């Protein structure tokens, strides 16, 4: 993007700072840094504009070069500080939007996959396999250390878990029956979020739990977990309807 218009404003602001340095001129430098981000200028563009402004000022007759250079350092530092702060804010917002879009895509893919009729089977272990799949996707999607999916409604409790790669060696050999007590284990995760798995008639089937996220769980994480629990509940109910020998058949 052309820096001509921005360069003129920068030179005028810098000249004012050389003539009368103070809070007003530094505030102008700060605003110029913000404007640079809004116009899509790179840090190199900003440095080039600053160099041209400095050169123009030094060439003026009778100027105190040392004072100009000192003022240039103050002015540029203020502009760069604002530039970096705003640029980081834009980048964080962009990354958050990308993450949110990625989550929505993964949720749609998981929902479509679990709704696939080809998954419906009364083969031994099919329900456990679906539960493991749900646990893996939930943990990866939200970025937790551990996810535990539990079905506890019919007297035949089933649990499936997914650990982050760093925790597999330490906790991967735990028996499934002990996972419900994971919060009491040595070095256990300090944070947990939970959503119930429920049937269409409101009966609680079990739970979907996530433990320990490095930067802490957010409101978006909790909303995502609720959506995941709804997808998981529907998949479990659908699979159970086709399981030979399941109570209610």
Determine contact, residues 196/229, Cβ cutoff 8 Å. Answer: yes
What pLDDT, in 10s, does the model give residues 57-99? 988 888 888 999 999 999 999 999 999 988 888 777 776 666 6
Distance CA 192, CA 211 (A): 4
pLDDT at 233 over 80: yes
Phi and psi, residue 83, nearest 5°: -60, -50
What pLDDT, in 10s, does the model give residues 98-143? 666 666 666 677 776 666 555 555 555 678 888 888 898 888 888 8
Question: So what's the pLDDT on residue 14?
Answer: 93
Q: Where are the domains of the chain?
A: 4-94, 115-241
Q: Compare 176 and 134 and report the one with higher pLDDT.
A: 134
Question: So what's the pLDDT on residue 69?
Answer: 92
Q: Helix, strand, coil shares of the chain as percentages rounded to 5?
A: 65, 10, 25
Express as a percent the part of the chain with pLDDT over 90.
28
Distance CA 199, CA 154 (A): 13
Determine contact, residues 15/67, Cβ cutoff 8 Å. Answer: no
Residue 155 falls in which region: left (phi positive, over 0), alpha (psi -120 to 50) or beta? left
Question: So what's the pLDDT on residue 27?
Answer: 94
- Domain 115-241 sits in CATH at 3.30.450.40
The tokens for 26 are: 């530094």
Phi and psi, residue 186, nearest 5°: -60, 140
221 Cβ partners below 8 Å, 6+ apart? Answer: 142, 193, 210, 213
Phi and psi, residue 149, nearest 5°: -105, 125
66 Cβ partners below 8 Å, 6+ apart? Answer: none
Determine contact, residues 139/193, Cβ cutoff 8 Å. Answer: no
Mean pLDDT of 152-157: 73
Q: Half-sphere exposure (CA, 13 Å, Cβ side) for 86?
A: 20
State pTM to two decimals.
Answer: 0.51
Helix axes 43-58, 4-19, angle to 10 degrees: 50
Average pLDDT, the chain: 79
């Amino acid at each position: 993007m052309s820096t001509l218009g921005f360069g003129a404003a920068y030179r005028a602001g810098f000249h004012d700072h050389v003539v009368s340095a103070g809070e007003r001129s530094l505030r102008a430098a700060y605003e110029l840094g913000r404007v640079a981000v809004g116009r899509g200028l790179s840090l190199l563009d900003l440095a080039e504009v600053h160099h041209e402004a400095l050169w123009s000022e030094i060439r003026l007759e009778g100027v105190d070069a040392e004072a100009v250079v000192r003022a240039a350092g103050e002015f540029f530092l203020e502009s760069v500080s604002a530039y970096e702060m705003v640029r980081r804010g834009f980048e964080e917002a962009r990354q958050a939007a990308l993450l949110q879009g990625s989550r929505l895509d993964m949720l749609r893919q998981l929902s479509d996959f679990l709704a696939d009729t080809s998954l419906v089977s009364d083969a031994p272990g099919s329900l456990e396999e679906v539960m493991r799949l749900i646990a893996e996707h939930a943990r990866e999607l939200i970025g937790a250390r551990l996810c535990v999916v539990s079905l506890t409604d019919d007297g035949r409790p089933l649990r499936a878990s997914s650990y982050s790669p760093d925790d597999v060696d330490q906790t991967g050999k735990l028996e499934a029956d002990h996972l419900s007590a994971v919060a009491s284990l040595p070095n256990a995760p300090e944070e947990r979020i939970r959503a119930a798995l429920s049937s269409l008639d409101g009966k609680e089937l079990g739970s979907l739990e996530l433990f320990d996220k490095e930067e802490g769980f957010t409101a978006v994480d909790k909303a995502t977990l609720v959506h995941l629990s709804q997808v998981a509940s529907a998949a479990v109910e659908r699979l159970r309807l086709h399981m030979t020998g399941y109570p209610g058949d």
